[in-house]
Structure 1
Amino acid sequence: MRRIRTTLATCLTLAALTAGAVGCSSDDEGEPAEIEGTADAADPAGEDGGDAEAEAELTELYGRYWDALIELENSTELDNTVFDGIATTGVVETEVGRVSAFKDNDIHRQGEPVIDHVTVAVDGDTARVESCKNEAGWVFIANGEEDPSLLPEELTRPSPFGVAAERTENGWLINQVLHTDETTISC
């Protein structure tokens, strides 16, 4: 997913630049000096809660989630292992269950959706990741041929999509796919 990866690279670059600006200067005493205004701009509360790091991890996780979902839906076989280390058992069961009806009828997808305007909100050990999604280029293939009737028109234009995530001892996992009316992003 080029757009997610581009967004991730941009976020990581910005995070690196921000981190570099905070710790690059020193005074004549050999002690690190704070660049005026950078601590407040980088962390308004004056505390390093790790939100920037968590946001980068969650953006990367969201990209991997979409890569797994695309692989699952584009394949002619069901393979729930594509979500290993990405989502909780409940989310995996939901996604595989949703897709299994298509597979049972010799239907799969081809291409990929456009995912952009990714936003991340971290609240301690929970988070929400939302984006705009357009499935116009992610077509359904039935009996070996594209079937436009299987793709609802509302999915062919940008629409909100979101997930919830939780921090576990092994890192972040997506633990819920949000209903469209639960999202706050406008597309």
Structure 2
Amino acid sequence: MTKTPIRRSRFLAVVVAAALLSACSGGGDGTDADDAALPVPTPAEETPEPEETLSEEDIRALEDLHDRYWTEIIAIENGAPLDGGSLLEFASPDLVEEELSAIASYHREGFFREGEPAITDVTVLSAGEDSARVESCVNEDDWPIMADGVEAPIEKRGATPRAFLAERTPDGWILVNPLPQEEAEISC
């Protein structure tokens, strides 16, 4: 009778040992059972890639682009010839065509601007490698639209955000296209 309990104990020890060895070796199929049990990081746990940063030189160049753009647009809207030549030095052909087309339609209807808008809070943000966003607050309340010497009754909205996408080219930075106001990261 003493042989039966020892045999059972040995049998159980062998089964437990085999189970442990099987679990540790992944069942012998070449996969590691522990790897399957490791948690997979969720997007919130993943380490974000470092954001591209702009050099001080890039920021100054982009701020200059923004200033040059507004200088040209103000002059054209105030009645300067609709010549996109100088705009093409720092803006994409598509952006220049879009801007001049809109201004030309206003001029054909007899609408011109007087004065200039108040532009503040110029902000340059990296948008990835070789691209950036240039944003500012533009207040057109004191830049009226005039028709035959009379100010058009346009709602005064105060400062609103304006944003442009810029790209680095072999010749330097250019403004590529305007972004919708609601996509601006600054608030005015």
TM-score by length of 1: 0.68
Larger CA Rg, structure 1 vs 2: 2
CA displacement at 1:76 relative to structure 2: 5.4
In structure 2, the gaps of 5 or more residues are 1-49
Aligned counterpart, 2:179: 178
- How many Å separate the matches in 1 of 2:96 and 2:85? 9
- How many Å separate the matches in 2 of 1:152 and 1:83? 29
Aligned partner letter, 2:185: T
Q: What do you get for the CA RMSD once the two structures are aligned?
A: 1.6
Aligned partner letter, 1:152: E
Aligned partner letter, 1:126: S
- How many Å separate the matches in 2 of 1:86 and 1:142? 30
Specify whether residues 50 and 135 from structure 1 end up closer, same or farther in structure 2 by C-alpha distance, changes over 3 A only. Answer: closer
1:72–1:80 contact (8 Å) kept in structure 2:
no
> Secondary structure of 1:100's partner?
helix
Give runs of ≥4 in structure 1 deviating > 2 Å.
151-154
- How many Å separate the matches in 1 of 2:124 and 2:54? 13
- How many Å separate the matches in 1 of 2:159 and 2:136? 9
- How many Å separate the matches in 1 of 2:80 and 2:64? 26
Aligned partner letter, 2:187: S
Instruction: Give a deviation string over 1:40-80, Cα, whole Å, max 9, x none.
Output: xxxxx9xxx66211001000110001001101101154222
TM-score by length of 2: 0.68
Instruction: Give a deviation string over 1:101-139, Cα, whole Å, max 9, x none.
Output: 111112111100011011101232000010111001111
1:125 to 123, 130, 137: 130
The reply to whether residue 164 of structure 1 matches residue 165 of structure 2 is yes
2:155 to 152, 156, 170: 152
The reply to whether residue 98 of structure 1 matches residue 99 of structure 2 is no
Instruction: Give a deviation string over 1:82-114, Cα, whole Å, max 9, x none.
Output: 313120000001101111111111211110001
> Secondary structure of 1:175's partner?
strand
How many residues align? The count is: 136
Aligned partner letter, 1:55: I
In structure 1, the gaps of 5 or more residues are 1-44
Instruction: Give a deviation string over 1:134-175, Cα, whole Å, max 9, x none.
Output: 0011111212x13231x3332xx0111111100001110000
